[in-house]
Homo-oligomer: A and B are copies of this chain.
């Protein structure tokens, strides 16, 4: 299994589109639904929502939903709509995140709050969120509405819990992982669950795919948090160092605090508390030297491995193969 992840290094340059191969047609249809949903007859609303659509991401959540479906059957019209719902909820959280993080660049484009203001971001996020629920309710599936609303609630709670622990460097690794599970992995898990649910898959397979999504989400967020410290703005296309500027304890920091004692620990805390934004170099060096960056990287791989194990017992298919490779991809990003 470790080899699967080690191979992942190559995947950074391997286009994601290849992994999306088995669901290329379906993703195209999801794009059409998104184009239809992300517009308005009111000029100012249209301007805002079209700009929101410009912040086009990796479409990871729709892809997960469709790949999970493809692992156990053939995606239906309902899957396409729910895949669009997942992307819209994700976009809503991103737009609101940008207010929280006071970020100015996302996906290589100025964020809504940088281009307009925080109010515009707040309202656009609300609109995307309510449109997503409209589209979900339009699928006439009660269970989908329930799962999606429940996930949205868990995500909000995760964000609030994270905010409550800002500047609190006593946060443990277990608590950190719990928060990641809520604020990030929940939507991955929900995407996979919805994908598998409507195709009369066996309960055990639905459960395995849901767990796959959860572990993948945690691996992804650990690696995203690593990029915020050790990444490159030009490559990632977004504002970095915001976690450190906001004194948000992430895994490398939690690990380094576990390892450091005495003067070392005091020095680290002073770096964490005094750190002015954009001057992350001394802290980054500290985290690299004590092995905390490597530790976090390995932890991300560990969760990616667990994700891959979940789908290993599913019948081999191009979709199943893609899910395995996605496990490698999410951690390869931070290498």
A135 CB to nearest chain B CB (Å): 8
How far is B228's CA from A324's CA once the two chains are assembled, in angstroms?
Answer: 59
Mask, A103-141, CB within 8 Å of B = 1, is 000000000000000111011111101110110111010
Chain B residue nearest to A182 in the complex (CB): B42
So how many copies of this chain end up in the complex? 2
CB of A226 within 8 A of chain B? no
Mask, A154-169, CB within 8 Å of B = 1, is 0111011101110000
Among A1-54, those with CB < 8 Å from B are 40, 42-45, 48
Determine whether the beta carbon of B118 is less than 8 Å from that of A99. Answer: yes
Q: A99-B119, A142-B142 are in contact. Are A134 and B156 (CB under 8 A)?
A: no
CB of A152 within 8 A of chain B? yes
Chain B residue numbers with a CB within 8 Å of A96 are: 122-123, 126
Determine whether the beta carbon of B134 is less than 8 Å from that of A150. Answer: yes
Determine whether the beta carbon of B122 is less than 8 Å from that of A122. Answer: yes
Chain B residue numbers with a CB within 8 Å of A314 are: none
A212 CB to nearest chain B CB (Å): 24
- Chain A positions within 8 Å of B, measured between CB atoms, are 40, 42-45, 48, 96, 99-100, 118-120, 122-127, 129-131, 133-134, 136-138, 140, 142, 145-146, 148-150, 152-153, 155-157, 159-161, 163-165
Provide 10 A-B residue pairs closer than 8 Å at the C-beta atoms, listed in order of the A residue: A44-B160, A44-B165, A45-B161, A99-B119, A122-B122, A127-B153, A136-B149, A137-B145, A137-B149, A137-B150
The 5 A-B pairs at the shortest CB distance, nearest first, are namely: A44-B164, A130-B152, A133-B149, A127-B156, A134-B149
